[in-house]
């Protein structure tokens, strides 16, 4: 049996197990007392949250000389979220690179550079918040040398991936594999396109991208706090920020669809540390799912309908347009 093929369903299995173990009647009672005002306010903040994130990606694209109208960037970003919500680890968000290929005739490899850096911003903020959360709640006890070393290695991974000189050797090994020998030129071109794009992003605008990321997560954690208030759960803003930081960090692992199961398990664990029953944790997880994944997914589906991605643009090579600006030659 191919374990890797089925591991993405681990979260779903955990979710079913949790529903089997908790008191569903009590969960329904908790949800029936929801304060609609706070829930609607949290829903409304999805729009500015996605705008900030799409603006961040727009800044990265402009650093590469790729001119995108902000309204178009917003639709592309929302469409990618739709696919991200239905794929393990939200890998579907990388579909943005194919939109760049479609709209600006830029190679997918070059487009992928801005998408990857965009995701790295999120990963680092979650890594920072999540690690602080694990420390504050004393989840791992006294941090061992092995854990600290592992954390440092994880933090350094993007620096290795984005370093052309470091990656040239492992990629060159692929050239020698007989099965892909015939694709050697294509791989070399894609490799160079990607790292040319990365080099263009290495400028002071990265600071703006990081600040936008911090602001977007501040807004996200405030939404999480509003959802707490909608259930009248007494957890302060700092604690729910740290808890959701850990939850979202784990959701980046390709173990589930839209964080189902993994998010519930994390929330049950942390809520128990604060003296709250599993039914409250799962009820809160359900509201988070409705707010960010159902409502956000519907927004993404609407954006996909307004701006679909044509199948022919799943090619990696650009056409007869300039790779950077998209202006006809």
Asked if residue 38 has pLDDT above 90, the reply is yes
Q: Could you report the per-residue pLDDT of 230-268, keeping only the tens digit for each?
A: 999 989 999 999 999 988 888 777 667 777 788 999 999
Note the pTM of the prediction, 2 decimals.
Answer: 0.80
Cα-based distances in Å from 200 to 57, 187, 197, 205: 14, 20, 5, 10
DSSP 37-87: HHHHHHHHTHHHHHHHHHHHHHHHHHHTT----HHHHHHHHHHHHHHHHTS
- Give me the mean pLDDT over the 56-84 stretch: 88
- Give me the mean pLDDT over the 281-297 stretch: 91
- Give me the mean pLDDT over the 302-308 stretch: 86
Helix orientation angle between 278-288 and 262-273, rounded to the nearest 10 degrees: 130
67 falls in which pLDDT band (50, 70, 90)? confident
Nearest residue to 196 (alpha-carbon basis) of 79, 318, 328, 314: 318
Supply the pLDDT for residue 274.
92
Average pLDDT, the chain: 79
Answer positive or negative: Cα dihedral of 62, 66, 67, 72. negative
Supply the pLDDT for residue 23.
92
Asked if residue 144 has pLDDT above 90, the reply is no
39 falls in which pLDDT band (50, 70, 90)? very high
% residues pLDDT > 70 (the chain):
73
């Amino acid at each position: 049996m191919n374990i890797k093929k089925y591991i993405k369903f681990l979260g779903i299995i955990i979710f079913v197990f949790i529903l089997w173990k908790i008191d569903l009647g009590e969960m329904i009672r908790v949800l029936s007392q929801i304060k609609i005002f706070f829930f609607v306010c949290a829903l409304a903040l999805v729009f500015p949250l996605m705008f900030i994130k799409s603006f961040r990606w727009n800044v990265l694209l402009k650093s590469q000389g790729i001119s995108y109208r902000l309204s178009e960037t917003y639709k592309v970003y929302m469409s990618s979220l739709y696919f991200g919500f239905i794929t393990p680890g939200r890998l579907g968000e990388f579909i943005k690179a194919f939109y760049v290929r479609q709209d600006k005739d830029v190679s997918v490899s070059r487009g992928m550079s801005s998408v990857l850096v965009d995701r790295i911003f999120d990963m680092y903020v979650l890594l920072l918040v999540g690690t602080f959360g694990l420390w504050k709640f004393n989840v791992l006890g006294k941090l061992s040398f092995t854990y600290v070393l592992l954390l440092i290695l994880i933090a350094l991974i993007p620096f290795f991936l984005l370093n052309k000189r470091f990656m040239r050797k492992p990629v060159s090994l692929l050239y020698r594999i007989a099965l892909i020998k015939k694709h050697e030129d294509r791989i070399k071109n894609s490799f160079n396109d990607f790292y040319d794009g990365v080099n263009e992003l290495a400028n002071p605008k990265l600071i703006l991208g990081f600040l936008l990321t911090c602001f977007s997560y501040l807004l996200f954690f405030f939404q999480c706090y509003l959802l707490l208030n909608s259930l009248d759960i007494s957890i302060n803003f700092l604690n729910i920020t740290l808890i959701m930081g850990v939850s979202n960090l784990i959701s980046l692992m390709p173990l589930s669809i839209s964080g189902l199961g993994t998010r519930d398990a994390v929330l049950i664990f942390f809520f128990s540390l604060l003296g709250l029953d599993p039914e409250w944790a799962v009820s809160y997880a359900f509201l988070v799912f409705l707010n960010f994944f159902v409502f956000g997914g519907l927004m993404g589906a609407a954006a996909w309908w307004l701006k679909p991605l044509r199948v022919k643009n799943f090619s990696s090579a650009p056409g007869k347009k300039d790779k950077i600006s998209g202006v006809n030659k």
